[in-house]
Amino acid sequence: MALRKLVAGNWKMNGTRAALPELPEIEAAALNAQGRLDVAICPPFTLMSEAAAAAPLLAIGAQDCHHLESGAYTGGVSAAMIADLRARYVIVGHSERRTYQGETDADVRAKAEAAQAAGLIAILCVGETEEQRDAGRADLVVAGQLAGSVPPSGKAANLVIAYEPVWAIGTGRTPSVADVAAIHELIRAKLIELLGPEGTGVRILYGGSVKPENAGELMAVPDVDGALVGGASLTAAQFVPIIQATAAL
């Protein structure tokens, strides 16, 4: 079943207000492609309000959320606060947070549940390291991350999975089309095992060095329902061709 694709940009810890003029052009490309795919930008928290104002018709997301709604958690930002900005998405469990902040599958699951409770769509990231892939353990690692972090209440309407092999992030390297196809098929099967029929409708994004040059090929792979784009989402010049290549499929 072909699902409506989602192309989401993750700005990571990049961008000041000087980056906001990139957004209207991305918004225009998203509007042109409407009906064929969804587009979102996840800027740093500091830019979310102004991003929403600069491109009011572009969907906005956050890159992380706290698992609790409010309280004495200095520096924390809750899913309810993100939803209050009229954001639609929140990325949870990105490998950079799993690595640098030590987030576990249980943490990621709690964040995804908080996102759902706040009415947001969680973009839940999984993916193996190079060492794990070389050891032939990519499938096991990804299946384990899904089992540990996908909320049992996950639905097609409030959950998106992003498969991001750690070794492909920011490196310019991507898995072969056959490898992407194989692991996305495995993720689909695991989602159906965990969520039942809902698992057939949960979108599975590919992330890791998606560029204008490879987007068409990667987005055409079966069970690839869109992209989570890092570096190439920072400028309209790079991100718009990715939107267009996906919309053309």
Sites of contact with ligand 13P (CB under 6 A):
10, 94, 164, 169-170, 207-210, 228-232
Please confirm, yes or no, whether 164 is among the known catalytic residues: yes
Asked if 210 contacts 5 with a C-beta cutoff of 8 angstroms, the reply is no
Task: Specify the residue, 26 or 169, whose C-beta has the smaller distance to ligand 13P.
Answer: 169
Rounded to whole angstroms, how far apart are CA atoms 142 and 158?
A: 20
| Catalytic residue (one of 27, 94, 103, 184) | 94
When the beta carbons of 63 and 158 are compared against ligand 13P, the nearer one is 63
Active-site option among 27, 67, 164, 184: 164
Please identify, using beta-carbon distances, which residue of 117 and 211 lies nearer to ligand 13P.
211
- Asked about 184 being catalytic, the answer comes back as no
Please report how close the Cβ of residue 197 comes to ligand 13P at its closest, in angstroms: 28
Six-digit token pair at 196?
């039942």
Tell me if residue 77 falls in helix, strand or coil.
Answer: coil
Task: Between 80 and 224, name the residue whose CB sits nearer to ligand 13P.
Answer: 224
3-class SS of residue 161: strand
What is the closest distance, in whole angstroms, from the C-beta atom of residue 171 to ligand 13P in the complex? 7
To ligand 13P, the closest distance from the beta carbon of 231 in angstroms equals: 3
Contact in structure between 112 and 148 (CB atoms under 8 Å):
no
| Residue 229, strand partner residues | 9
What angle (nearest 5°) sits at the alpha carbon of residue 154, between those of residues 223 and 59? Answer: 70
Residue 90, both tokens:
């929140």
In angstroms, the CA 41 to CA 230 distance is: 10
Residue 4 amino acid letter = R
Residue closer to ligand 13P by CB (options 198, 211) is 211
- In this structure, how many other beta carbons lie within 10 angstroms of the beta carbon of residue 114? 23
CB of 172 to ligand 13P, least distance (A): 8
CB of 35 to ligand 13P, least distance (A): 25
CA 162 from chain centre, in angstroms, equals 5
User: How far is 215 from 37, CA to CA, in rounded Å?
Assistant: 14
Q: Is 133 exposed, middle or buried (0-12, 13-18, 19+ CB in 10 A)?
A: buried
Structure tokens of 199? 């698992």
Residue 244 C-beta: closest distance to ligand 13P, Å: 17
Position of minimal CB gap to ligand 13P = 230
Give catalytic residue positions: 94, 164
